[in-house]
Homo-oligomer: A and B are copies of this chain.
Amino acid sequence: MADMTSTADAPRSPGRPRSIRADEAIIEATLDLLAEGSSIEVLSIEAIAARAGVGKATIYRRWAGKDALLLDALRRLKGIMAQPEGHSVREDLVLLVGAIGKNVDPRAAKIMPCLVPAVNRSGDQFQLYQSIIAPRRQLMREVLRRGIDEGVLRADIDVEVTMALLTGPMLIQRVLQWNPDLDEQTLPERVVDAVLEGIRAR
């Protein structure tokens, strides 16, 4: 955690140690409030403290301000990366595409759309955002390259554009609710197959 006293090489400072339960309660309260619809800018330290059953000073003792707290809180939502199994390129792609925007924490789905403006404005948030999706992109890139090496995919495809092609439909559906009539369950499979086969008659 960015602004918390490092617990690694501490020679045990005197006095009462900081409560781990308070740490937890503050982070959880932050995520809860965000998931309930409070936007980042409206979210107040006071509300977080009240929800966590914690004094305001307890929060200020740990974080410099709302931004630092949010950065720590949002790190919790990352979740575990999907691991392609390597059986077939198509299956791996379906797995990866299906994992887009599907987080471990159920609150994440509600919070994600609220982060879009923040990511566009705050350099810190943009960096956190990129640091989360970069390894996932890398995973998909490797599957595509493997497909090329194995001769399953054409050698002349633009890997970066292909990734955007696979990722875009899922993201606009999960984050922007682009087309309410589109079934999210079967979308990964249908997207992957459409991208694989193309739509031109032949």
Main secondary structure of the interface of A (DSSP, over half): helix
Q: What number of copies of this chain does the assembly contain?
A: 2
Nearest chain B residue, comparing its CB with the CB of A196: B200
With contacts A113-B117, A200-B196 known, is A137 near B179, CB below 8 A?
A: yes
User: Which A129-170 residues have a C-beta within 8 angstroms of B?
Assistant: 130, 133, 137, 151-155, 157-158, 160-165, 167-170
A114 within 8 A of B: yes
Q: Are A117 and B171 in contact (CB under 8 A)?
A: no
The answer, among B41, B133, B164, B175, for a CB contact under 8 Å with A41, is: B41
A190 within 8 A of B: yes
Count chain B CB atoms within 10 A of each CB in A163, A172, A177 and give the residue with the most: A172
Nearest chain B residue, comparing its CB with the CB of A195: B199
A42 within 8 A of B: yes
Q: Which residues from chain A sit less than 8 Å from chain B, CB to CB? A: 37, 39, 41-42, 113-114, 116-117, 119-121, 126, 130, 133, 137, 151-155, 157-158, 160-165, 167-173, 175-182, 187, 190-191, 194-202
- Give me the 7 closest cross-chain CB pairs, A-B, nearest first: A168-B168, A198-B198, A164-B169, A168-B169, A116-B116, A114-B117, A196-B200
